[in-house]
């Protein structure tokens, strides 16, 4: 490791945003996220008719983004390094997010949620990830891979029993990945058998975000071994179900303040009414859920990218070499310009994917997707494009920002070192970059003649 320059600048851990709004001032009361007006796309900017398409957000979306940014700066940023260092799950902050309605953004108002559109939800994820990606993924998982599939595929009885609790602050989780089933989700071995008025689950799931803190788990298990991917069923499993257990938390490279652990089913019994959709539809539900959740991962990557750019600019302005701040050197300026350009592209790709996902939801009247159709297929492709581009761009941005920080970027006291670790997994979970490219290509040129069923695991 190169020696740290003696004239190094102080750690840039709270630099002024370079392409976002100015830092928030004293904390004002944050209004709970409820009754957000649903908006299918950003509002047209003044003069858009003459100048072309406008990309301004709606008033409610701007307000929500400002509220979440203020909450993140004032309540999450203090202690973020300590929580990362000690691998401490921020239970008290998660409880506050529940009180604000951030854990029930994708739950309809009829069930106690905010009833937010997908773009508004993505804006909230981005603002949380800009400050603490670990907290953002905790919120995103509960919303997108637990609340969303229950709201989409659950019976009315199940929704009324589960969603108010999730909207009120209880955490959710998603169980698809297994030790032997990652991208090849169709090879999962966790099984479920019908026993009277219950289903009995046996097996294990790996890399489950929020495990141990979640109250409800959406779990996919094999119910017909002879039917391949059509022999899988999705269940909603409560944390207190008999035979359910959580293993020791994983020691991760990044996102250390989020909890990830295996979960086990030892003849775990759940009521028959806890099935999502119908028996045999679990694989379809898992794919639809992943298509939707990738929008959140794209937004998470955008938030990390935004912060990496802010830190790079702030450090380059104060670090002096060869008699001038290094921001004056063309090599640094070109890096910053490239980071800003790819950030803008990633953000708009993510917004487009969010708008498409909302359009599919609205067209279906909030009901289950049956066969998907061209609109759902297009939305899935857009989500894959946003996820792969935003995650890879964010990884490059963190690398460039750390390079601009020089030796100091390698020090744990500097925020960029944490972001560099946190961002790495964005190209892996919710479907690897390789799987996203397969999804995109399949929509454009069709599926290969022979292929394994690939879903891309959490």
* Rounded Cα–Cα distance for residues 184 and 412 (Å): 36
The candidate with the shortest Cα–Cα distance to 257, out of 166, 429, 139, 177, is 139
Question: Would strands 260-271 and 198-209 be described as parallel, antiparallel, or unpaired?
Answer: antiparallel
The candidate with the shortest Cα–Cα distance to 36, out of 63, 17, 68, 10, is 63
Q: What is residue 276's three-state secondary structure?
A: strand
Catalytic position from the list 338, 430, 434, 458 = 430
DSSP string over 280-330:
T-HHHHHHHHHHHHHHHHHHHHHHHHHHHHHHHHHHHHH-EETTEEGGGSH
Cβ 200 vs Cβ 269: under 8 Å: yes
251 among known catalytic residues:
no
* Rounded Cα–Cα distance for residues 394 and 301 (Å): 6
Q: Helix 133-142 crosses helix 91-100 at what angle (to 10 degrees)? A: 50
The length of the chain is 458
Cβ 235 vs Cβ 243: under 8 Å: no
How far lies 71's CA from each of 16, 31, 168, 441, in Å? 16, 10, 18, 40
Task: Give the residue numbers annotated as catalytic, written as ranges.
Answer: 430
């Amino acid at each position: 490791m190169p020696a740290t320059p003696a004239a190094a600048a102080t750690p840039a851990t709270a630099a002024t945003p370079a392409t976002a709004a100015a830092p928030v001032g004293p904390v004002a009361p944050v209004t709970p996220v409820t009754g957000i007006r649903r908006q299918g796309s950003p509002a047209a900017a003044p003069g858009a008719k003459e100048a072309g398409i406008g990309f301004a957000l709606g008033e409610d979306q701007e307000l929500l983004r400002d509220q979440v940014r203020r909450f993140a700066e004032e309540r999450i940023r203090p202690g973020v390094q300590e929580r990362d260092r000690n691998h401490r799950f921020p239970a008290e902050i998660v409880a506050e997010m529940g009180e604000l309605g951030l854990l029930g953004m994708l739950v309809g108002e009829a069930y106690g949620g905010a009833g937010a559109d997908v773009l508004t939800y993505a804006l909230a994820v981005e603002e949380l990830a800009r400050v603490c990606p670990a907290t953002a993924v905790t919120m995103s998982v509960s919303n997108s891979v637990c609340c969303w599939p229950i709201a989409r595929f659950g019976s009315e009885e199940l929704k009324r029993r589960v969603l108010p609790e999730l909207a009120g602050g209880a955490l959710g989780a998603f169980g698809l990945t297994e030790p032997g089933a990652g991208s090849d989700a169709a090879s999962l071995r966790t099984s479920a058998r019908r026993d009277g008025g219950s289903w009995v689950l046996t097996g294990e799931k790996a890399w489950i975000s929020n495990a141990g803190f979640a109250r409800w788990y959406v779990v996919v298990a094999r119910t017909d071994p002879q039917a391949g991917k059509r022999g899988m069923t999705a269940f909603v499993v409560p944390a207190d179900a008999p035979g359910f257990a959580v293993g020791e938390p994983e020691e991760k490279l990044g996102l250390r303040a989020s909890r990830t652990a295996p979960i086990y089913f030892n003849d775990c019994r759940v009521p028959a009414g806890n099935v999502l959709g119908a028996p045999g539809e679990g694989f379809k539900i898992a794919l639809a859920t992943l298509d939707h959740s990738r929008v959140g991962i794209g937004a998470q990557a955008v938030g990390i990218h935004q912060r990496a750019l802010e830190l790079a600019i702030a450090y380059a302005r104060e670090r002096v070499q060869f008699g001038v701040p290094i921001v004056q050197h063309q090599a640094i300026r070109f890096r910053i310009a490239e980071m800003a350009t790819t950030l803008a592209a990633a953000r708009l790709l993510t917004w487009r994917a969010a708008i498409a996902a909302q359009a599919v939801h609205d067209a279906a009247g909030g009901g289950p997707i049956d066969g998907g159709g061209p609109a759902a297929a297009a939305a899935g492709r857009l989500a894959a494009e946003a996820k792969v581009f935003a995650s890879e761009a964010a990884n490059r941005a963190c690398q460039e920002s750390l390079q601009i920080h020089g030796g100091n970027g390698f020090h744990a006291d500097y925020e960029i070192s944490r972001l560099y670790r946190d961002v790495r997994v964005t190209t892996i979970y919710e479907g690897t970059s390789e799987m996203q490219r397969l999804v995109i290509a399949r929509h454009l040129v069709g599926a290969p003649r022979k292929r394994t069923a690939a879903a891309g695991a959490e």
